[in-house]
Amino acid sequence: MERVVDATDEVEIPCDVSTDPAEAANLVVEWRKDGQPIDFATETHMYVKADHSLHIKSSKVKDTAGYTCNASNGLDSAHSAISQLKVKGKCIEFFKQFCLCQ
């Protein structure tokens, strides 16, 4: 399923994970963008919430991608289906005759 949003919109992509309470401390969730791990040091407008969902503040056209979450507790692992996100640019009119598209 593809989700379409406008640039600057906030986006939340859920990651429904659960594990045995005895393994909860070992649960690791990793988010991937087009199959590559997301580097949150460079993608500073993205973060993972306490419920493991991915939050994108002020989305950008370059955020258009397929997102997956991978979960592991050391014993088992699973990955989500791809959540396809398309971010449309916005055009801003200024000085009547010029437009800037983000």
How far apart (Å, rounded) are the C-alpha atoms in residues 83 and 74? 25
pLDDT of residue 93: 55
Domain ranges, residue 83: 2-19+26-101
pLDDT of residue 100: 54
pLDDT of residue 84: 97
pLDDT at 90 over 90: no
How far apart (Å, rounded) are the C-alpha atoms in residues 46 and 10? 10
pLDDT at 98 over 70: no
pLDDT, tens digit (0-9, with 9 covering 90-100), for 10-53: 999 999 888 888 888 889 999 999 999 999 999 999 999 999 99
Q: How many domains does the chain have?
A: 1
CATH number for the domain harbouring residue 82:
2.60.40.10
User: Buried b / exposed e across 15-52, counting CB within 10 Å, b at 16+?
Assistant: bebebeeeeeeeeebebbbeeeebeeeeeeebebeeeb
Q: Stretch 62-76: mean pLDDT, rounded? A: 93
Q: Stretch 52-73: mean pLDDT, rounded? A: 95
Question: Pairing between strand 28-33 and 65-72?
Answer: antiparallel
